[in-house]
Structure 1
Amino acid sequence: MSPKLKAALDYGPLIVFLAVFLLYRDQDVMLWGQTYPGLILATLVFVPLTVLANAVLWKMTGELSVMQLVTLVVVVVFGGLTVWLNDPRFIKMKPTLIYLTFAALLAIGAALGRNWLGRALGEAIPLSPEGWRILTRRIIWFCLGLAALNEVIWRTQSDTTWVVFKTVGLIVLTMLFFVGNAPLFGRHALQPQDNGDSPR
């Protein structure tokens, strides 16, 4: 798949979500006889776009990762509740649930001796078994930290602050996390002659 198309499918719904919110954040919109604030309207647009993006991705690649499926289910359920109940708290709790779910899945995999992270990222980041173990622990703590940070921000800050955090802040923090782990990737990178254990 073209990198540009992949990026559009991954980030397009988020960009549209941010744009719709910024356009309507200071006004209410009447739909189906009910008044919706800007955040609810943005969610109403975001959910079907996310479903469409994942459908295109599945059509073109023939598969969706566990992380993509979990995210899709949470978006549909919590986004749907947000619109149905006209209550923005559900969409604000969505990142918390997603990150807690990722942390739990990785922790279960580690406890079972399974390299689930390697299965998801092995082609992009070839690491030794020890490297995957270290990275898995770090990502578990990183996900827990993001879940806690999301709870603090949506409960204490304005809708605008939370939306910018969700659409821009989380991406930036994730990029910084992987940049900060560059030394780990260098120390534990698999060389062509290495015969490290394959991800299970």
Structure 2
Amino acid sequence: MIIGLTGGIGSGKSAAADRFASAHGIHVVDADIKSRVVVEPGRPALQHIVDRFGSDILLENGSLNRAALRERVFQDVDQRLWLEALLHPLIREEIANDLASATSPYALLVSPLLVESGQHAMTERIIVVDVPEATQILRTSQRDGVPDAQIKAIMQAQAKREDRLRHAHDIILNDQDLATLHAQVDALHERYLAMTTGATP
């Protein structure tokens, strides 16, 4: 069983995924990490990006300047759509290969764009980590040190909170402390174990 885990920027997806992995030994595939793999130096996708945006999109060591690229594509919808058309199929292939290697009772696919990218088609259930939008902005600003306007642009490109929740089979409300988050993850883990063994969840 493959379970998708998603949520907007700053919602706490990583903290939830870390709990599934560290406390319960669940195989976690992170779409953000896969998105970095497909644009590593020597990969064809990186050359396509340089051809489109110029060599100033690279850092001195030849790797992608992700912050510069993010700034460019979130200012221009056409550029963002071009980039997504290039990267999403490559990321999906990387994800599929990794999920196929899972040996835990179920596997977790963590992706901020689970719904928008079509990656949810690879999953049988979806968990949404949900927080109020003001909390997303505050946490992301504290974590990344980026302006509120850039955070809001990223949020605009992600599914609306209501759209994500409409796809959810399970919701983790992450507006309190880490212990509260962990308790919700632990309860879901028990439910998923019951589902994989055929017991009533």
Q: What TM-score comes out, normalization by structure 1 length?
A: 0.28
Larger Rg: 1
Q: Which has the higher helix share?
A: 1
Q: Which has the higher strand share?
A: 2
